[in-house]
Amino acid sequence: MSEEIRTKIELELIEDMIFKCSMGNMKVKDCYIDETNQEEANMWGPNPVRLLGAAVLGCLSASLIFCLKKRNLSFDKFKSEAEVVVARNKEGRLQVKEINVKLKPESNNPDTLKRYKQCKKFFETFCTITQSVRAGIPVNVSYED
């Protein structure tokens, strides 16, 4: 790869295990990560598991739509969903076991449906997040005292 794109994300502890997010130069209003394991109705924001599922789902959805837009086609409706399965590993620690994604495009246009079948064959390879998660991503951790 000849170029790298670096994105900086920062978290600031607000209370308990609730963090306020900063997405670098991007202005995001009221972004929080909540790992307090409270009831969903009381959470300040998504937990990291949900964020991972949303990242995979968002990337796959965008990659499929991009593939069709390159051919000047679009869906009448498009919905997608992800289910993130968390289970204990051999050591008894929780980890993401799998992510199941459903893409639900709807179209009355036969050309769109035909091209959709063509895009299905390769669009996943253009999803940066999905390909990275599938391959495994090195995570380097350092500490500042």
Same domain (yes/no): 68, 28: no
Residue 144 domain-assigned (yes or no)? no
How many domains is the chain partitioned into structurally? Answer: 2
One-letter amino acid for residue 60 of the chain: L
Q: pLDDT tens digit string along 68-84? A: 888 888 788 999 999 99
Establish if 76 belongs to a structural domain: yes
Domain-embedded: residue 77: yes
| First-last CA distance in the chain | 34
Residue 131, pLDDT above cutoff 70: yes
Q: Which of 128, 76, 124 is nearest to 104 (CA)?
A: 76
For residue 145, pLDDT over 80 is answered with no
> Within this chain, do residues 20 and 66 fall inside the same structural domain, yes or no?
no
